[in-house]
Structure 1
Amino acid sequence: MAPAVDVDDDDDPVVAEYDVFITPELEQQLYVLQYINRPPDQPLTKANQSQPSEIRIKPESGFIEVDVPINIRQNYNKPQGVSWGEALRKTKGFGQKAYGTAGGFERVMPRLSTRPGATADAPAAAAIDNDDNFEEYITNFEDANEKGHVLNTQIFGGQIMKDEGSAPSYMVGTFRDDQLHLTKLDGIVQMRTEFHHLDATGQLDAVNRRREKESQEGVKPTEPKAFLPTVKKSGGDTAAELTQTFFKAANQEKWAKLQYSDEDSEAAYEAYNERLFLTDPAAAPKLQSTMNNAQYLDSISAPSKKRRAPRRREDLIEISDDSDEVEGAAEG
């Protein structure tokens, strides 16, 4: 049996002390992107050969997407990569700008070139059926990749969780010697893998099914239809109507591209030093608390129940085990 070791539970020494500073609000927005399903030992950096090739944002709806290159020369299914790459290329060719939630789950369906009334500049469905070069793309894989026929990008996407005032406020901290500088965040984004290539494949299948159906049944001529004008409310207030309005607005909002700087680049270090530290800590005003220690502990503690006054014996009701009579019942 091992000898007993004296443990002093009250021994909790202070190992370090830091002066805490709060930086002023930034003119630019500051977000933290959390990659939920990517291992922490695989950062999106140039040194790890995974520097993002593009970052885009929809400021109003809050959607963000990050494009990360895929290593297509190692453990890569070339036929499947060509198939998915072509699906994305073709759907984007007839006007699809976004997929999934960032696109409001909307699909752009091209007009058939044989449909009466189709304009010359309208995207035709016949253009998406050009798969004669599929084997050639696989044979000349490198050339096909350079020309945009191969899925060579992994997309991470998420929506900004903004500080609405009721939720906790998050801050990012940076250390410099014995100082801790805190900068308020404008929001957090949980980034997850997006499967736009599957959305594009399903969209392409829907277009081909429609084209096949109309080739068998024939294209119905466009006929004038009578309509009755009605007055509709500009917007509903139910959950379903609000969601529909939000997705419609998200689909119509255009992407804005952002400039990306690798974490080891000079631009990244300059932004780090300029934006996440207080310029003159010596001149910073000191925060003055309006509560003492006891008041602070009371404010963060759960509310305590007031103790009830002990009851007097004459107020108690005693019930005998031998009879149903009540003895000493208090009258009230």
Structure 2
Amino acid sequence: MASGDDDDPIIEEIDVYLAKSLADKLYLFQYPVRPSNMTYDDVNHLSARIKPKQQKVELEMAMDTMSPNYCRSKGEQIALNVDGTTYEETNTYSVKMMDKQTFTSIQATTNTSRYAAAVFRKGELHVTPLTGILQMRPSFTYLDKADTKTREREAANEAGGDSSQDEAEEDVKAITVRFARPESEQARQRRIQSYEFLQKKQAEEPWAHLHYHGVKDGHSEHERQYLFCQSVDASENSELVKTPKEYLAMLMPPLAEEKVLKPVGPSNVLSMAQLRTLPLGEQVKTLMKNVKVMPFANLMGLLASGTDSTAALRCIQQVALLVQGNWVVKSDVLYPKNTCSPHSGVPAEVLCRGRDFVMWRFTLERSVMRKEIASLIKLPPEDVKEFLEHVAIPRVNRGWEFLLPTDVEFVKKHTDIAHRQHMLWLGIQSKLEKVFNFSKEDFMPKNSPQPDPVHVSGEQRLKMAQDRAQGNKSSLQKDLDTRRLDSSVHVKQEPVSDREDEPMDTSSSAINGSVNGYPSATSPTFDHTNGNAGSPPNAPSVELKDFVKKTFRKHFVLTLNEFKRLFGLHIASMPVGHSIYPSISDHMLQDAILLCQCKQIMVPFPAQTTAAADEQKVFGLWETGEEFDKQRRLLYDLFNKNYRIRRTMVQAKLTQELGESSKADVDRLLAECCISHAGMWYLKGTVPS
């Protein structure tokens, strides 16, 4: 013996016996809502029943209605609510009073392999394994019965007034017959795991009725004898021959059991740690199959750090196509060969053609209409909606808009890939034209760009302006000379001209007063080409008003600086010599904006702002004739008080003024007029740099 064992001597040895007589029938009952010193041993048990497979037990116990702690009026009221005033054999309480209560069990644990009941007698310990550990709690099903009775009475009262009419008239009702679709394996698994299915399965097991015997009953005393091992003969109960290590392993099994107890995730869920153990191609395919549409930068963020972008680009081109600079998973990846639609049973080949058409349409425009697509590809509405939900989001009065903004940076950086993808789409388009019998011109966007204007270099523009100025100067000089002759001689004389057939210059530069070929700031501006000669000085032309309306219908909120930039681009895109706009000042632009159903939003910028003066002048579309104008004006009112707001402020304002507002309204409002930065919302163009 080791010297350390002398300080811890063995006091007594106890023989341990395993009793098996009650091994499959022994349950431990716990009463967690009852103090341990208040047992139910002396309470009259009226009935007991069990469902062995579910280990579900119900005990019905009598209540002492004569106890001073029992409220008689409350007991009578409960009985009246449950059973009503009539007496029936099925009544829960036969004495018109709540005189019993039911206890229903729930399993405290599903694994009882480590639990046993032990009794000690004459230096021997007898152990019996437990079949189950059940917690008995009061059942309140009688309240459900009372609610059912109340609803039945209310329904009877409501139907009482129309009963005579119902009996007199027998209407023929049309019956709609629906044929159930074949249940897929995925749908069957969901149904089996549903709460309703489990409840139904549990209800199918019949109750087994039991006889309850009290603690002091002779039958109970007889059964307790089975807790002792019935045979203690050494020949039948051999000593433990296990080594200490084996015995310890029996007492504390390895972690295999814990692995079984770990929650098992769905088969289609893959953690990022598991994902990164796959080859790069499988990682990209798995991500695209689950996300459906993704910018390339986001894909690189999901892959392991250090992943080569060239290799990732090579992989993504195998499983996705480029749409508006973003990658969209290919149709044959989502719908493999020899599969069918879970909604309608349409074959995968037909689904792929329909989805390719939807993606091709998004290469042409930002938004599409579902009805238009469904009428052409002729697929069930459920499938068409699924195609759109993969890559788009519904917008009020605008159809389905592509989910992500155009990734211009990716297209600029990878022009070769963008060109290759464009050629792929041309091939897909030619196949779709044959299948669906259409041409690309049938689906050109309504706001498709016109043919590119003729581009003229800056030097050419300068030379043309100088020539025009010189011509205008000569024309003015001739006109002055003619007027002098007329005033002195009083004889009308035609101005001298080198060319007899020179046409009259009716351009705005010739008609208005000008200096060096440009309109004078002091001369009134008249647009003779549009019949606006009677307009007041500096009045905006019809063309300028049209441009303002179209621009604000598209952008809703613009700073003066941004509007000037858009106006400059519009002027530059017009062919040389066809400009219908005279010289326009900032003041004239502001007047034109305010005359076109727009108003200036007085945003209170902070004192330390670095925004230019033109950036601090913010204009918003005020009236379009739509119901949504009210929401837009309320948003402007918020920005009249603060230059930045939170989403909750918008929601609260709309709710306060217009009642309950949907999330879609708030999303649309913020998307049209605002931009998010650092958790706050700003009007477009007012985000601090």
TM-score normalised by structure 1 residue count: 0.60
Does 2:134 correspond to 1:189?
A: yes
- Matched-pair contact (CA < 8 Å) for 1:31–1:186: yes
C-alpha distance in 1, partners of 2:41/2:206? 27
- Matched-pair contact (CA < 8 Å) for 1:24–1:183: yes
1:68 corresponds in structure 2 to: 61
Q: 1:210 to 1:146 in 2, by over 3 A?
A: closer
User: For residue 56 of structure 2, what is the amino acid of its counterpart?
Assistant: F
Q: Which has the higher contact order (CA 8 A, sep 6+)?
A: 1
Q: Deviations over 1:111-132 (max 9, x none)?
A: xxxxxxxxxxxxxxxxx5x36x
Q: 1:298 to 1:288 in 2, by over 3 A?
A: closer
User: For residue 189 of structure 2, what is the amino acid of its counterpart?
Assistant: D
1:93 corresponds in structure 2 to: none
1:238 corresponds in structure 2 to: 190
Shift of the alpha carbon at 1:87?
A: 4.1
Shift of the alpha carbon at 1:69?
A: 1.3
C-alpha distance in 2, partners of 1:242/1:31? 29
- Matched-pair contact (CA < 8 Å) for 2:113–2:129: no
2:222 corresponds in structure 1 to: 270
- Matched-pair contact (CA < 8 Å) for 1:145–1:152: no
- Matched-pair contact (CA < 8 Å) for 1:22–1:278: yes
By percentage of residues, which structure has more helix? Answer: 2
Q: 1:146 to 1:214 in 2, by over 3 A?
A: closer
C-alpha distance in 2, partners of 1:259/1:34? 19
1:115 corresponds in structure 2 to: none
- Tell me which of 13, 19, 23 is aligned to 2:15: 19
Report 1:158-307 matches (<5 A): 158-160=105-107, 163-164=110-111, 168-216=113-161, 218=163, 223=173, 225-231=175-181, 233=183, 236-238=188-190, 241-273=193-225, 275-283=226-234, 284-292=237-245
Report 1:27-66 matches (<5 A): 29-46=25-42, 50-66=43-59
Q: Secondary structure at the match of 2:53?
A: coil
Q: Secondary structure at the match of 1:286?
A: coil
Q: 1:278 to 1:300 in 2, by over 3 A?
A: closer
C-alpha distance in 1, partners of 2:142/2:52? 24
Q: Secondary structure at the match of 2:159?
A: helix
- Tell me which of 99, 103, 119 is aligned to 1:152: 99
Of 196-205 and 173-182, more deviation after overlay is shown by 196-205
Shift of the alpha carbon at 1:250?
A: 2.7
Shift of the alpha carbon at 1:237?
A: 2.4
Q: Deviations over 1:209-234 (max 9, x none)?
A: 22233234558668462322314649
TM-score normalised by structure 2 residue count: 0.31
Shift of the alpha carbon at 1:81?
A: 1.1
User: For residue 279 of structure 1, what is the amino acid of its counterpart?
Assistant: Q
CA RMSD of aligned residues (A): 3.7
What is the aligned residue count? 237
2:316 corresponds in structure 1 to: none
Shift of the alpha carbon at 1:296?
A: 5.6
1:136 corresponds in structure 2 to: none
User: For residue 211 of structure 2, what is the amino acid of its counterpart?
Assistant: Q
User: For residue 39 of structure 1, what is the amino acid of its counterpart?
Assistant: P
Q: Deviations over 1:79-114 (max 9, x none)?
A: 3212322444x3xxxxxxxxxxxxxxxxxxxxxxxx
2:376 corresponds in structure 1 to: none
Shift of the alpha carbon at 1:268?
A: 0.6
- Matched-pair contact (CA < 8 Å) for 1:54–1:67: yes
Rg larger in 1 or in 2?
2
Of 190-199 and 237-246, more deviation after overlay is shown by 237-246
Q: 1:53 to 1:14 in 2, by over 3 A?
A: farther
Shift of the alpha carbon at 1:57?
A: 1.4
Q: 1:297 to 1:198 in 2, by over 3 A?
A: closer
Q: 1:59 to 1:210 in 2, by over 3 A?
A: farther
- Stretches of structure 2 that go unaligned for 5 or more consecutive residues are 1-5, 256-689
Shift of the alpha carbon at 1:188?
A: 0.7
- Matched-pair contact (CA < 8 Å) for 2:55–2:132: no
Of 236-245 and 251-260, more deviation after overlay is shown by 236-245
1:95 corresponds in structure 2 to: none
Q: Secondary structure at the match of 1:198?
A: helix
